[in-house]
Amino acid sequence: MSSASGQKQEFVFRGIPVSPGVAHGKAWLLAQKELEIPSYPLVEEQVEAEIARFETAIMATRQQISELRDEVSKKLSETEAQIFDAHLLVLEDKALIEETVSDVRKSLSNVEFCFNKVAQRYIDFFTGLEDDYIKERVNDIRDVTRRVLRNLAGESHPDLGELDEPGIIVAADISPSEAALMDKQKVLAIITEHGGTTGHAVIMARSMGIPAIVNLWKATTRIPAGCDLLVDGYEGTLVVAPTADTLFRYGEIRTRKDKIRQKFLTELEKPAETADGHKLTLRANIEGAEDVERVLESGAMGVGLFRSEGLYLRSNDFPSEDEQYEEYVSVVRGVTKGPVIIRTLDLGGDKILPKAMTGIDENNPFMGFRAIRFCLKHKEIFKVQLRALLRASAEGDLRILYPMLSGVSELVEANELLAEAKKELGRQGVNFNPNIEVGAMIEIPSAALVASELARHCDFFSIGTNDLTQYMLAVDRVNDEVAHLYQPAHPSVVRTIKNIIQAANDADIPVGICGEVAGESAYAALLLGLGMRELSITPPNLPEIRYILRQMQISEMKALADKVLSCATGDEAQEVLAKFSKTRLQPLVEAITE
Ligand code: PEP
Ligand code: MG
């Protein structure tokens, strides 16, 4: 690893970042010692003693896992400790235990051999399934199996708490029980060749604040033991043998980033309100059930926008009522700090299914057969979703949001279909929330202009500025040629938002905003100045927005809004926001690192 000049050569590898942060240290290669599985025949008389040996090993394993659970509960939290409940369940699995015992009796083979065979069959079966979550659970079975086999062999368990000095773990994979024993002072970061973002080991690393990168190809063979590593858990970059320049650069940038982020996160415990006490409702935008964890980490008070079309696009199909129900229910059960607002199918525009499925082939898809227009034409597809949503509403505070309404008649028609779906479920004796709330997305200028009329037929508004901007200004939101004209701060858009807020207030219904601008700090301040109190934001941006808004007074945000409202052009308005950001917001963030 030395160049001709004698200088160390720096290498950069990339993986998937799963836990943020930066770490610098020596590589600790975690060799996963392959377990030797003994295989020998038994005679009839040895069988009962062999089964008793198995039962003892199972009991010892149960005891170890329970102790581990207590330790994790004390060291981390009850949530992390519950991971070991899944391990205990593996040990309770009758099929696994009984099949092993019956195999010992039938094959007259030693129990290690039989247990490993049965467990391996389960592992292979689960690994073959499509579901990522189930695949991750394979690690639970593997972990427990290794533990039982070690107990049968009388071996102790290697753990990451035994590192002599601080270092960066490089491993093929890390099991949850290995991760649970990690000494936070010694494990500076984790690099693995395998593993997804929902693995329990990753969850633990994240909750312990240990930077981690997964899916780093052949990490254990490409990274020499003991070499100098720099881990960037924000970007998923690993620098092997970083130069002094690189270290300096990272030191400067990342220390600052870590500090700022930490500050944002610690502020989550404080109430979501402005410096002068105006209460805020900050929710999360999500694409599917896999985002639930990020919602919880962000401190969001529920989900303000669940874009349900992701479910359709991922499967490249129309998912069944049951498939949809499962997805919606898992979000409703996972997110308990507030409602889950699920937007009905918004296909069309830039989100298109194959023409063979929809029959759609348009020259101008954003102005075409999109969202509620498609659903009202294909009532059978829409009703499947409405039934799934209603069924899931029995499990928690689920609310329905209709996208791309251009006026009252679409909202009324959608509500009629919802009423039909309720009747159908009622006849079948299926549970649902009969008073489920429905909201209207206000993202087309015509809807904005008849907001007062729309308010009579729904329970809340959600303003979609991504589309409102493109439709107000007639600027295709995905066309690079006109991107400079796409200005959400354009006075026409800002004045329209103000009018929608006014209409909602007059009708006494809540109004929120779920367009991307809610996650931009200067724009968020502008929205509060316009009277908005409910923002829905992508989870990673939420702690920052919350921090910034907590430092500000409504009066200064009102002054900002007045300035923007009085602008004649979009450029002028954008300049006002840029200046506000530079002079008022950036110093707030910079002050954190001073
Ligand atoms: C919007 O239009 O602002 C919105 C939130 O919806 P989408 O971006 O999915 O169109
Ligand atoms: Mg939209």
> Is a pLDDT exceeding 50 seen at residue 1?
no
Pairing of strands 228-232, 167-171: unpaired
Interhelix angle 94-107/47-75, nearest 10 degrees: 150
SS3 state at 379:
helix
Q: If you average pLDDT over residues 240-260, what whole number do you get?
A: 87
How far is Cα 62 from Cα 91, in angstroms, rounded to an integer? 7
Q: Is 466 in the pocket of ligand 1 (CB under 6 A)?
A: yes
pLDDT higher at 480 or 57: 57
Determine what percent of the chain falls in helix, strand and coil, rounding each to the nearest 5.
55, 15, 30
Residue whose CA is at the smallest distance from ligand 1 atom 9: 307
Sign of CA dihedral 203, 205, 210, 215: negative
pLDDT 10s digits, 114-153: 999 999 888 888 777 777 777 667 778 888 888 898 888 7
Residue whose CA is at the smallest distance from ligand 1 atom 6: 464
Q: Which residues surround ligand 2, an ion (CB under 5 A)?
A: 443, 464, 467
> Is a pLDDT exceeding 60 seen at residue 161?
no
Residue 3 pLDDT grade (very low, low, confident, very high; cuts 50, 70, 90): very low
Whether 200 sits among the annotated catalytic residues: the reply is yes
Residue 7 pLDDT grade (very low, low, confident, very high; cuts 50, 70, 90): very low
Q: What angle do CA 219, 222, 223 make, to 5 degrees?
A: 75
Q: How much of the chain, in percent, has pLDDT values that exceed 70?
A: 91
pLDDT 10s digits, 467-488: 999 999 999 887 767 878 989 9
pLDDT averaged over the chain? 88
Give me 480's structure tokens: 């690079």
SS3 state at 170:
strand
Residue 433 pLDDT grade (very low, low, confident, very high; cuts 50, 70, 90): very high
Note the pLDDT of residue 521: 93
Note the pLDDT of residue 387: 98
How far is Cα 214 from Cα 211, in angstroms, rounded to an integer? 10
Interhelix angle 491-507/554-565, nearest 10 degrees: 130
How far, in Å, from the CA of 464 to the mean position of ligand 2? Answer: 5
Domains of the chain by range and CATH?
11-32+159-245 (3.50.30.10), 44-153 (1.10.274.10), 271-593 (3.20.20.60)
Note the pLDDT of residue 199: 62
Residue 29 pLDDT grade (very low, low, confident, very high; cuts 50, 70, 90): confident
Note the pLDDT of residue 594: 78
Residue 6 pLDDT grade (very low, low, confident, very high; cuts 50, 70, 90): very low
Q: Is 465 in the pocket of ligand 1 (CB under 6 A)?
A: yes
Note the pLDDT of residue 177: 62
> Is a pLDDT exceeding 50 seen at residue 253?
yes
